[in-house]
Amino acid sequence: MAAQQRPPIIERLVVIGLGLIGGSFAKGLRESGLCREVVGVDLDPESRRLAVELGVVDRCEADLAAACQGASVIQLAVPILAMEKLLRELAKLDLGDAVLTDVGSAKGNVVRAARLAFDGLPARFVPGHPIAGSEQSGVEASNSELFRRHKVILTPLERTDAAALQLVDTLWRALGADVEHMAVEHHDEVLAATSHLPHLLAFGLVDSLAKRSENLEIFRYAAGGFRDFTRIAGSDPVMWHDIFLANREAVLRTLDTFRSDLDALRDAVDAGDGHQLLGVFTRARVAREHFSKILARRAYVDAMHSNNVIFLANPGGRLSGRIRVPGDKSISHRSIMLGSLAEGTTEVEGFLEGEDALATLQAFRDMGVVIEGPHHGRVTIHGVGLHGLKAPPGPIYLGNSGTSMRLLSGLLAAQSFDVTLTGDASLSKRPMNRVAKPLREMGALIDTAAEGRPPMTIHGGRRLGGMTYEMPMASAQVKSCLLLAGLYAAGSTTVIEPAPTRDHTERMLRGFGYPVSVQGNRATVESGHKLIATHIEVPADISSAAFFLVAGSIAEDSELVLEHVGVNPTRTGVIDILRLMGADITLENPREVGGEPVADLRVRSAKLKGIDIPEDLVPLAIDEFPVLFVAASVAEGRTVLRGAEELRVKESDRIQVMADGLLALGAKVEPTPDGIIIDGGTLGGGDVHSHGDHRIAMSFSVASLRATAPIRIHDCANVATSFPNFLGLAAQVGIRVTEEGKS
């Protein structure tokens, strides 16, 4: 397909070397119309003839000087080891203002050669490297689409002329390439690891097997794995010979590192160390998946940086059906933490495969714990004991997850190694002094960024002492953080809470055989005990079920059953508040699963009325307020919330962000410093912003059930942090919300 014609921005493009890359560059730009003339140069007369015949260039020259006369841009697309000679020849010519650029796969040697040839690097030289290719070669394979959606790395130097860089950047972008700029050394290191090393291994493996006397046997039985792994050994040997010589130093560095890793694997096989092997293989598999997602441009844990995902929620709808929402986020986090610190193998079922819980899982893998899965909610954790964690290879990235950061800070405060905990833009704004301060009182050494924000660096080798801490706010994360630190602190650690908060940590510690004493609002642990692996069944998350409890209540003629929901009394504030508002919710089939109460929840449409929300229910429904505000905005009368200033320091300022969105939909809302006043009425449609907060995005999806026009909800990628299949389940029960641009 010919590129869209545009007005010329340069007079003459000269491409030296009409192979696949040079030919494709020439052809694509010729079709784009950006160059008034495209001239080709090649030593081979047949290539020159074909280049004109196939429309790759306007004309060809055998003579370099003739071709370069009046050139605006000269692209050097010859094999990398021929670059040096070509640059020497070019240096003898009068190139005027021409911009020089190249396509060599290693940049250090090209830059060195240019510096020598020109006696100092020309300012209008822009080194480049398109990461694209094909099994075909030669000018006849020229393809103007070859670079579309492929990376092109430009490696400008300090002296590089900004206008020249901009021009080369523009030309590659016109071919549909994703252009990135990088330092020369960085480029060569990255390419040595990601491209050159794998080619060396593929060539080396095939050659090694082919040399053996039984080679026919080996190749006859070679399965798909061998074919996949060695596909690239079919690449052009001369080109690769050139690349290894050109990028010698960087290749040697990466090869040496790999050799020592390979030796470690050999030792593990020799020693029958299955644990080590499983560790390497599970980590590799996860890394591979992560990498595939990056290639497919899908979010992994860093959803905040992904494109603006917009939910389009169409008005109205009646709800029906039975669904099971995903596993409880708080319990999923804790299952990984305690399972990792336990002795023996813990099996988890119903694990939430959302990005937050996966961030915790990855953190423990980074600290040497072998974790299999998750696969359909099943996770197998090979615990390392309370003192078995290892220093992670670098900072631990926790994405959007406040729970991960706060709980981890407690249990990391007493390890022997230093760790830095980082997160995405939202997590980087959340207050960490609430955990850093009491941990320091226990003897921890912790650095934070200004005002106690992440990143947190937790120094190892500290001896912690137990203490009694009266929490200034009702926070399960602070309580859990200190109890986890208490597992390592001399003596006993007691946390006193001003109001009841979720007690999953206390329950699960007991499930792992660790004694916890709870007396009224005091929870105490003592060090010196151990955690014994167990089986954990994670119930469905009441915080996720809450969206459907409100949806089923406010939609007309609706009845919905939510199966197997965790109804721990420290989490059921949402049911109590909705019932006070007149909701029809019943608990069926109550049972206990692994120390946590569970029930099926039936919700039917009801006429809701506004209420003064009792303050003692606030910590018991802390995550459900965004959707409760939606319920209040369509209820009859006024709803008042007080004592909920904690909502301002969640993934977003949930009071302000919900107030802004509801106001945009025409609701009567007044935010207050510690809550909100909502006068129920009707909701219109419009654009609202979730500010990357999963619970805000899902709440406005529910609001559509009573809206009179469509609601467009911006910035919804983070729904995947807590509720990966929200849109699927919403559609299944009758909420008309989809991702914009997808059916």
502 binds ligand SPQ (CB under 6 A): yes
Binding segment for ligand SPQ (CB under 6 A), chosen from 184-192, 473-481, 506-514, 534-542, is 473-481
Prior bond to 455 cis, omega within 30?
Answer: yes
Residue with tokens 């052009």: 236
477 binds ligand SPQ (CB under 6 A): yes
**C-beta of 187 vs 329, nearer to ligand SPQ:** 329
Binding segment for ligand SPQ (CB under 6 A), chosen from 17-25, 85-93, 474-482, 667-675, is 474-482
**C-beta of 100 vs 407, nearer to ligand SPQ:** 407
476 binds ligand SPQ (CB under 6 A): yes
* Segment 380 to 409, residues that bind ligand SPQ, using CB under 6 A: 401-403
722 binds ligand SPQ (CB under 6 A): yes
**C-beta of 403 vs 572, nearer to ligand SPQ:** 403
* CB neighbour burial string for 669-697, b if at least 16 within 10 angstroms, e if fewer: bebeebbbbbbbeebebeebbbbbbbbbb
**Single residue of 480, 524, 572, 704 touching ligand SPQ by CB under 6 A:** 480
Q: Which residue is nearest to ligand SPQ (CB)?
A: 402
**Single residue of 105, 330, 340, 346 touching ligand SPQ by CB under 6 A:** 330
**C-beta of 73 vs 341, nearer to ligand SPQ:** 341
622 binds ligand SPQ (CB under 6 A): yes
Binding segment for ligand SPQ (CB under 6 A), chosen from 157-165, 449-457, 645-653, 701-709, is 645-653
Is 623 assigned a catalytic role?
Answer: yes
**C-beta of 250 vs 630, nearer to ligand SPQ:** 630
- Alpha carbon distance 722, 401 (integer Å): 10
Q: In what order do the strands lie in the sheet with 737-739?
A: 686-689, 711-714, 311-313, 737-739
**C-beta of 32 vs 477, nearer to ligand SPQ:** 477
651 binds ligand SPQ (CB under 6 A): yes
Question: How many residues sit close enough to ligand SPQ to count as binding (CB under 6 A)?
Answer: 18
Residue spans of alpha helices (H) in 634-703: 654-664, 694-703
Sign of dihedral through CA atoms 614, 619, 624, 630?
Answer: positive
What is the DSSP track for 180-243? EE--HHHHHHHHIIIIIHHHHHHHHHHHHHHHSTTHHHHHHH--HHHHHHHGGGGS-HHHHHHH
623 binds ligand SPQ (CB under 6 A): yes
Which two tokens mark 430?
């959340």
Residue spans of alpha helices (H) in 247-351: 248-271, 274-295, 329-341
Contact code string over 677-706 relative to ligand SPQ, x by CB under 6 A:
------------------x-----------
- In 3D space, the residue among 84, 79, 342 whose CA is nearest the CA of residue 236 turns out to be 79
**C-beta of 177 vs 525, nearer to ligand SPQ:** 525
- Alpha carbon distance 636, 324 (integer Å): 30
366 binds ligand SPQ (CB under 6 A): no
Strands 535-537 and 343-349: parallel
From the candidates 42, 623, 693, 715, which is the catalytic residue?
Answer: 623
Please state, in angstroms and as integers, the Cα–Cα distance from residue 26 to each residue in 76, 300, 382, following that order. Answer: 11, 37, 56
650 binds ligand SPQ (CB under 6 A): yes
- In 3D space, the residue among 628, 618, 617 whose CA is nearest the CA of residue 658 turns out to be 628
- How many Cβ atoms from other residues are within 10 Å of residue 210's Cβ? 12
- Alpha carbon distance 77, 70 (integer Å): 19
Contact code string over 84-123 relative to ligand SPQ, x by CB under 6 A:
----------------------------------------
Catalytic residues: 623
Binding site for ligand SPQ (CB under 6 A): 329-330, 356, 401-403, 475-477, 480, 502, 622-623, 646, 650-651, 695, 722
